[in-house]
Structure 1
Amino acid sequence: MASDSELKRVANELSYPILLCERVRVAVDDAESFKLECVEVFKQVDRLSHMLRTLVRFSIATPSLYERPIWRVIADVSKNLERALTLVRKCKRRNVLRRVVTIVSAADFRKIFGLLESSLGDMRWLLSIFDSENVGGIVLSLPPIASNDPIISWVWSYIATLQMAQLTERIEAANELASLARDNDRTKQMIVEEGGVPPLLKLLKEDGSPDAQIAGASALCNLANDQERVRNIVNELGVQIIVQVLADSPMKVQSQVATLVARMAEHDPLAQEDFARDNVIRPLVTLLSFETFDDEHREQSGKQSIHSIVQINKEMEKKSLTRPTAGPYTHSQSSSHYYYNYYHSSEGSKHRRERENEKPQLKLCLKISCAEALWKLARGSVSNSRRITETKGLLCLAKLVEKEEGELQYNCLMTIMEITAAAESNVDLRRAAFKTTSPAAKAVVDQLLRVVRELDSPVLQVLAIKSIGSLARTFPARETRVIGPLVTHLGNRNTDVAAEAVISLQKFACPGNFLCMEHSKTIIEFDGVLPLMKMLRGNERTLLQGLILLCYLALHVGKSDSLEQARVLTALEGVDRTVVSQHPELRELVPKAIYHLSLYHQGVHSQRDLFS
């Protein structure tokens, strides 16, 4: 039901136009000129008065009152009543001077008739939304107030239905809103501004109706492609609702909700972090790993006693009693507690059994959605990447890259790429998640190398090569197996793959890598010099990246016979000076490399001749 304050506000807003109607009636009684026209005005105003009073009764009796169209229509009706009152008052007997100054014409009345007729049309439309025989039913007629923008009346009608109608009509309204919002950003913004998010979130919580939850999640997905609109969902406590629905809903609902998580995390960093604080990563990893660790799960379940589960619950309850009643982590901790208890409850067991019986296509869709959500949560976030690695996330991603293909494999590789990029920028994450003794890290590297060596997909190879490059500082000198495949792809006919291979090798050979000399020797031993020389004849991107790596090799292994036989010194001396001058990183690097090579190779120019 609408709150008392809302009812008072509606009553106060409606009291003013009702009062105006009474004032018009009094003014008509006092009119001396244009009596017939004034009476006609009163007839229209009287109908408006009856409609306004009916609207008051409906607003009091209607649960979950949708107010947005009321304010817009009543504001317009009030303006038109004020104009009618002003005109009728001009028809009252006045002195000669006032009659000369104030001239009323038939055209003025025709204009007022038209305005009042529009107000009557708006009120008829508004009352149709609150009709007691069809409360909240979808009304697609066009009120005069929306004649220049028909979409607004549809949005109002759908949101009113969504907020006030029975469940079946609410589902239909949510689907219509999703359709309206699919391809039009202006309509998306209108739905949010007119209050569409709260009733959609309420529909998402209808745990007894998967169709309702899917309709709500689908509509929210279509709205959530803009930071401002995502922030609106967050501000309506949408993150907490979404995380709870993800944890305890049927699989087809979870799939759509995971897509919603991905969409929101993609467009708003605040949502990205809020989801993580509310512990969304753990259920996402659990759903993604469904059927991936079946044997291991059964083994662990057999080992875990009831006593251990009870002890864990006691500890978590103790923490909940000692933590503050409010603060940034209070809800996330309770969400974690809820999630753990849920998955060890009879309800959680029921959903696990239901998932086992679902169609393979639905299981695949769920995993695709969960992998995409993890990818978007990890993107640019060290903390979220750490959270994923603290679960079985890395091992699960590696197994899926091994077993799956298509969109699921792509999403898993994108997630790995984001996690490794975060590890490249954060030494603590790198050491914790990708230490050489970690089985999960080894599994990830094995699958990245398999993609690089075996798959005939430039898109996937680029992702795997980027990930290996991000982990360059984690590999010991003896781990030469990761360098060989990268060197092989220096000669790849796909320029994107070749360019990414050379960029990754740069991270092995750059001075910032403690093992740069050992890695540089390995690159040369795998015959990397000749394909690098060919890159110097390629496009600007491959020329630039190949030149940088050649300079690193020259600086670290300048005495190499391979560099001399390939005439690297001559090639560096012949590099276009314009290319060097346009790239700051080459201005010092190329002269240093030339000087370093000249110390070991015979018949070369001295440093003072460089670029003279």
Structure 2
Amino acid sequence: AGCLYSLSVLAENKLNIVQEGGLAPLVGLLASPNPEVAKQACGCVRNLAVSPVNKEKLLHENGLPPLINLLESDDPKTQELAASALRNLAVNDAIGLRMVDAGALIPLIDLLTSQDKKVVEQSAMCLRNLSPLQSNCERMVEEGIMGPLVSLLRSRDEKIQEQATAIVNTLSMANAENKALVVEEGGLTPLINLLRSTNKRVQEESCITLRNISANTDNQVKIVQRGALPALIGLLHSSNAKLQEAATITLRNCSMNSENEVRIVQEGGLPPLIALLRSADSKIQASAVIAIRNLSSNSTNQVKISQEGGIPPLIGLLRSFDPKMQEQACAALRYCAENADNQVNIVQDGGLPPIIGLLRSGDHKIQAQAAGAIRNLALNVENKVRIAQEGAIQPLVSLLCFSNDDVDEQAAGALWNLSMNSDNRIRVVQP
């Protein structure tokens, strides 16, 4: 077994050993009462399992049960080799399902608490390979994986951190319960700390996990309370598109909370978010505009958005080919137009023509936001005249017959404000 172990390191020998009938006796030796023989056989099987062809043959030779049994060996090296062999096999989803059905999860999860770093790393890598399948995720959580994983997030070993963050990320995408469980098990603080990791993969997985768990409203508050904002805002400047996107989405989600709206701006989040309104990445741009929309519901933020130069790029997005982008940008401008100075700024920056143009959109949500924006802009005396001159009255009157209550309400409100001007009053009656 030891000789074959050495030979199996070479790629060509991996197939030759199996072709010459060596696999069946090697699988038999995995159950040898001699621990050294079992270890050598396990090492050889680990090497052979790299080959896709050999994976299927190992399954046919019933190699899973003895490999799983060796996870409970008293020898750390044997545990490492067995976990590594199973890791190689778990790349195949069908074999991964068989592995879980054969009882591999409990011993693999137990090995996450081993004092041997190599054992922990190989076990975590195996579990990572198993985790993409939804059914495996569910079984892992049922078997209590989250606690040990959260402990590994605090490891000083970057390889272990990388595996742990990847698994937690995958689990957090599976369902709402897992998003809450990550936080309940104490995962939030170490994930936030790992946003500053020098290992890009660890940083990415941590940030994406925070993005996932920030979909939960309670977690949105906790993420900010635990001090994540400085690191998340810093990542908005990252040259790594995945990091930038995940950080933007996390801030977008967190900005749905009224207290967080204030904190994000206080921590300096507004300038980079405004800059991302011009991002060439549509996903980043879309998340940034939603974040700005959320922040703009706060009266103090409305002033700061204008001061930081947010009005022009928002106006630019009104001409986007993406209806969702148009809707969110128009909503942000609608909120900003609650401020008297912004009512002037939006018109001066050329916002009227595209807003009026959106009254004719085929999307009732966009129409409602556009009518709402004009309603607020029309509170300004000079704007009442400009809005009428730009031809807004006729499309607003047309919207009064619309079947959507929100569109009707906003259009009626806009016409009411415009009719405070005597000339406009006549135009409203006789458009």
Specify the TM-score bucket, using the shorter chain as the normaliser: 0.7 to 0.9
Distance in 2 (CA, whole Å) between partners of 1:170 and 1:429 is 48
Distance in 1 (CA, whole Å) between partners of 2:357 and 2:19 is 65
Conserved? CA contact 2:318–2:329, under 8 Å: no
Work out whether 1:243 is the aligned partner of 2:132: no
Distance in 1 (CA, whole Å) between partners of 2:371 and 2:208 is 41
Structure 1 counterpart of 2:328, which letter?
L
Match of 2:276 among 480, 489, 493: 489
Match of 2:367 among 591, 597, 609: 591
Give the drift of 1:508. 4.8
Matched residue SS, 1:271: helix
Work out whether 1:415 is the aligned partner of 2:209: yes
Give the drift of 1:152. 11
Match of 1:287 among 149, 152, 156: 152
Matched residue SS, 2:235: helix
Conserved? CA contact 1:223–1:229, under 8 Å: yes
Name the structure 1 match of 2:391.
605
Structure 1 counterpart of 2:350, which letter?
R
Matches within 5 A, 1:453-492: 453=237, 455-476=238-259, 477-479=261-263, 480-481=265-266, 482-492=269-279
Aligned length: 370
Name the structure 2 match of 1:47.
none
Work out whether 1:449 is the aligned partner of 2:225: no
Aligned sequence identity (%): 19
Matched residue SS, 1:286: helix
Distance in 1 (CA, whole Å) between partners of 2:144 and 2:54 is 32
1:90-111 alpha-carbon deviations (Å, 9 max, x no partner): xxxxxxxxxxxxxxxxxxxxxx
Matches within 5 A, 1:459-608: 459-476=242-259, 477-479=261-263, 480-481=265-266, 482-492=269-279, 497-506=284-293, 508=295, 515=297, 523-535=305-317, 540=321, 543-558=322-337, 560-574=343-357, 581=362, 587-599=363-375, 600=378, 601=383, 602=386, 603-606=389-392, 608=394
Conserved? CA contact 2:249–2:287, under 8 Å: yes
Name the structure 2 match of 1:381.
175
Work out whether 1:159 is the aligned partner of 2:27: yes
1:222-242 alpha-carbon deviations (Å, 9 max, x no partner): 222455433322222222111
Distance in 1 (CA, whole Å) between partners of 2:294 and 2:72 is 48
1:288-319 alpha-carbon deviations (Å, 9 max, x no partner): 2145xxxxxxxxxxxxxxxxxxxxxxxxxxxx
Matches within 5 A, 1:55-134: none
Matched residue SS, 2:126: helix
Runs (5+) with no aligned partner, structure 1: 1-133, 141-149, 292-362, 510-514, 582-586
Distance in 2 (CA, whole Å) between partners of 1:219 and 1:258 is 13
Matches within 5 A, 1:115-514: 153=21, 155-164=23-32, 166-182=34-50, 184=52, 187-208=54-75, 210-225=76-91, 227-267=93-133, 269-290=134-155, 363-421=157-215, 423=216, 427-430=217-220, 433-434=222-223, 438=225, 440=226, 443-453=227-237, 455-476=238-259, 477-479=261-263, 480-481=265-266, 482-492=269-279, 497-506=284-293, 508=295
Conserved? CA contact 2:71–2:83, under 8 Å: yes
Structure 2 counterpart of 1:604, which letter?
E
Matched residue SS, 2:228: helix
Distance in 2 (CA, whole Å) between partners of 1:576 and 1:609 is 6
Give the drift of 1:253. 0.7
Conserved? CA contact 1:558–1:596, under 8 Å: no
Runs (5+) with no aligned partner, structure 2: 9-17, 400-431
Distance in 2 (CA, whole Å) between partners of 1:167 and 1:376 is 36
Distance in 2 (CA, whole Å) between partners of 1:163 and 1:576 is 75
Classify 1:400/1:593 alpha carbon distance in 2 versus 1 (closer, same or farther; 3 Å): closer
Distance in 1 (CA, whole Å) between partners of 2:103 and 2:191 is 30
Matched residue SS, 2:73: coil
Distance in 1 (CA, whole Å) between partners of 2:93 and 2:258 is 39
Name the structure 2 match of 1:57.
none
| Structure number with larger C-alpha Rg | 1
1:410-433 alpha-carbon deviations (Å, 9 max, x no partner): 222222222223x1xxx45556x4
Conserved? CA contact 1:203–1:216, under 8 Å: yes
Structure 2 counterpart of 1:566, which letter?
D
Name the structure 2 match of 1:584.
none
Matches within 5 A, 1:31-50: none
Conserved? CA contact 2:331–2:373, under 8 Å: no
Structure 2 counterpart of 1:219, which letter?
A
Conserved? CA contact 1:287–1:370, under 8 Å: yes
Distance in 1 (CA, whole Å) between partners of 2:323 and 2:69 is 55
Give the drift of 1:254. 0.5
TM norm structure 2: 0.73
Distance in 2 (CA, whole Å) between partners of 1:528 and 1:205 is 60
1:212-259 alpha-carbon deviations (Å, 9 max, x no partner): 222211221222245543332222222211121221341111011112
Classify 1:200/1:488 alpha carbon distance in 2 versus 1 (closer, same or farther; 3 Å): same
Give the drift of 1:398. 1.7
Give the drift of 1:546. 3.3
Structure 1 counterpart of 2:117, which letter?
M
Give the drift of 1:490. 1.5
Name the structure 2 match of 1:108.
none
Distance in 1 (CA, whole Å) between partners of 2:199 and 2:179 is 23
Distance in 2 (CA, whole Å) between partners of 1:382 and 1:546 is 27
Classify 1:270/1:562 alpha carbon distance in 2 versus 1 (closer, same or farther; 3 Å): same
Structure 2 counterpart of 1:224, which letter?
A
Distance in 2 (CA, whole Å) between partners of 1:419 and 1:598 is 37
Distance in 1 (CA, whole Å) between partners of 2:392 and 2:257 is 38
Conserved? CA contact 2:214–2:250, under 8 Å: yes
Classify 1:285/1:452 alpha carbon distance in 2 versus 1 (closer, same or farther; 3 Å): same
Conserved? CA contact 1:377–1:384, under 8 Å: yes
Conserved? CA contact 1:449–1:464, under 8 Å: yes
Conserved? CA contact 1:378–1:385, under 8 Å: yes
Conserved? CA contact 2:277–2:289, under 8 Å: yes
Give the drift of 1:472. 2.0
Structure 2 counterpart of 1:233, which letter?
M
Matched residue SS, 1:567: coil
Conserved? CA contact 1:598–1:605, under 8 Å: no
1:93-146 alpha-carbon deviations (Å, 9 max, x no partner): xxxxxxxxxxxxxxxxxxxxxxxxxxxxxxxxxxxxxxxxx9xx8999xxxxxx
Give the drift of 1:448. 0.7
Matched residue SS, 1:478: helix
Classify 1:410/1:595 alpha carbon distance in 2 versus 1 (closer, same or farther; 3 Å): closer
Distance in 2 (CA, whole Å) between partners of 1:533 and 1:152 is 72
Classify 1:266/1:598 alpha carbon distance in 2 versus 1 (closer, same or farther; 3 Å): same
Give the drift of 1:172. 4.4
